[in-house]
């Protein structure tokens, strides 16, 4: 969908996605949703059932995107420490991206977070 020079595409894909935080596998999914957006890196949104939710702790951090809505965040707790605010979700996204509702995305640019797609570091 294009809005004022801003494109967002949401596509279910069959890529194999593995997320590690501080070398601990936190998520493995073969049913991600890929969101591509003007000016942002591609993001894989994963079903909560494919994420080790016991490693996540809700964060008070929130953010607002004029194209997607209001996001909530989690930190990941491993034996090696805490990775703050590296997971987010849009519980009630705007209708144009409703496919990502409740799915989880990982901030691969944060230290200690690795995202692999089909065996390749993304």
Domain layout of the chain by residue ranges: 8-121
Tell me the per-residue pLDDT of 46-71, one tens digit each, with 9 for 90 and over: 999 999 999 999 999 999 999 999 99
**Confidence bin at 4 (pLDDT 50/70/90):** low
User: Could you give the C-alpha distances from 18 to 15, 79, 86, 117, in angstroms and in order?
Assistant: 10, 19, 15, 7
Tell me the per-residue pLDDT of 65-118, one tens digit each, with 9 for 90 and over: 999 999 999 999 998 899 999 999 999 999 999 999 999 999 999 999 999 999
Query: 3-state DSSP call for residue 116?
Result: strand
Q: What is the pTM of this model?
A: 0.93
Answer yes or no: CATH 2.170.150.40 is held by domain 8-121. yes
Burial class (CB in 10 A: 0-12, 13-18, 19+), 87: buried
Q: What pLDDT score does 28 carry?
A: 98
**Confidence bin at 43 (pLDDT 50/70/90):** very high
């Amino acid at each position: 969908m294009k809005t004022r020079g801003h494109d967002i595409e949401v596509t279910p894909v069959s890529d194999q996605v593995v997320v590690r935080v501080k070398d601990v596998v936190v998520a493995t999914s073969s049913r991600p949703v890929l969101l591509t957006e003007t000016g942002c890196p591609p993001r894989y949104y994963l079903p909560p059932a494919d994420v080790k939710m016991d490693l996540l702790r809700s964060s008070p951090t929130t953010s607002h995107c004029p194209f997607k809505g209001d996001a909530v965040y989690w930190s990941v707790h491993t034996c090696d420490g805490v990775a703050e605010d590296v997971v987010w979700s849009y519980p009630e996204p705007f209708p144009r991206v409703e496919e990502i509702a409740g799915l989880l995305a990982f901030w691969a640019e944060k230290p200690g977070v690795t995202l692999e797609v089909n065996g390749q570091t993304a």
